[in-house]
Structure 1
């Protein structure tokens, strides 16, 4: 019978086992996160990350807009009391790319302008919100715009008229807001969180503007021959309004892709909502309650 030697190469496993038993640890090679003391990074669930600031007077409904969006929400740890800053993240689909938005909603009271000065640093998009039933909130946009231009010059901006479902109490005419937005080089939307109208569309447009400004759009927009999928999307979008896509008998994922394609392929579209006649023809779904 062959006997293994008690020393040399045959004894190495036994010695290693004894060492583990005595010391309670191994001498195996450490992984990267063990050497650096940091856990391994989780794979990203998005393609681009943008910081967006919601600005406007208090009680214009910025929280209503945030609550209409999906994903998680949390209070900012940097403020407390009545000046607390709300923070939320959401992910949108823009031209087939996942864009994660970090949304910061600061208090609209004047004494918290210092908060805006702090949070406007590094912002890649600004949502200026007013209440269409409150003329004072629209007149205050000048002050907020001046504050934003001072601390975040050149950042893309979208003017948002909130609470369209209260159009019968309107104090700010849509045409006046449109002209103001065009004068200050902003996109313009009228939205209704209650009816889920134009909320995601306004964020998609702001994201498109931010990515275009930073030159990121060219990373996925090639000049090659159009693919069959893009040709089909173009044909469908050309004959159906954005809000009518929801009624098409298509899978949810495909409808989401079509909606993002329609929004991103029409950068010149600045109308807050379709005309009533156009809506009656193509958009008889749930969003039609916003048109009076």
Structure 2
């Protein structure tokens, strides 16, 4: 059976956005998916969901299912449940907020406890546009972010959803890295049965409640 245009992809990857509240996760997702910022930005409640089909540099096409999770403690039980079957994550902190960077270790440990064993994580320092306007507001240097990422085997990027700096690159470098990891292990390389099974599982999660978008 011929697939529809919306189904024209070779690989299906579940990605999660995690980090403290107000670090800009929803802005990053909106900028990447829609090319705009949210019109009426509010704190994410539970989990929100979006998709984008992306061609890989190495050939083939990925359908990324991206789940934006709430950063507030009261939603922790809800959000951690949605880490299941995630093969990639953007772990976001605010470069002007030291507490958000201090929380990165806890978020990383939660991901590694609940997501796929080989999950690929990119550490993302967001809101660098604020530093461009006033360098004194920066609390976490790029070197500090890179050091933490290197020590824990994470990818690293600094972004701005406002000025669109490195937003596309962050998402798509993560997707390419996931593909490379899967290619090396020989797991999940475009087998249609695997794609259909993951799609069914994710659709079931979406129907179970707490989802929008």
**Separation (CA, whole Å) in 2 of partners of 1:216 and 1:143:** 28
Regions of 4+ moved over 6 Å: 216-220
**Separation (CA, whole Å) in 1 of partners of 2:17 and 2:67:** 6
* 1:158 is the counterpart of 2:122: yes
Q: Greater Rg, structure 1 or structure 2?
A: 1
Q: Is the 8 A contact 1:71 1:90 kept in 2?
A: no
Q: Is the 8 A contact 1:211 1:217 kept in 2?
A: no
| Match 2:47 to one of 85, 92, 109 | 85
Q: Which has the higher strand share?
A: 2
Change (3 A) 1:82 1:138: closer
- Spell out the pairing of 1:1-292 with structure 2 (5 A cutoff): 42=4, 44-70=7-33, 83-95=45-57, 96-152=59-115, 153-167=117-131, 168=135, 169-215=137-183
* CA offsets 1:208-245 (integer angstroms, 9 cap, x no match): 1211222279879xxxxxxxxxxxxxxxxxxxxxxxxx
Change (3 A) 1:159 1:139: same
User: Paired residues, what number?
Assistant: 174
Q: Is the 8 A contact 2:46 2:75 kept in 1?
A: no
The alignment partner of 1:185 has SS state of: coil
**Separation (CA, whole Å) in 2 of partners of 1:151 and 1:104:** 15
- Per the normalisation by structure 1, the TM-score is 0.55
Q: Please provide the CA RMSD for this pair.
A: 2.5
Q: Is the 8 A contact 1:124 1:156 kept in 2?
A: yes
Q: Is the 8 A contact 2:26 2:44 kept in 1?
A: no
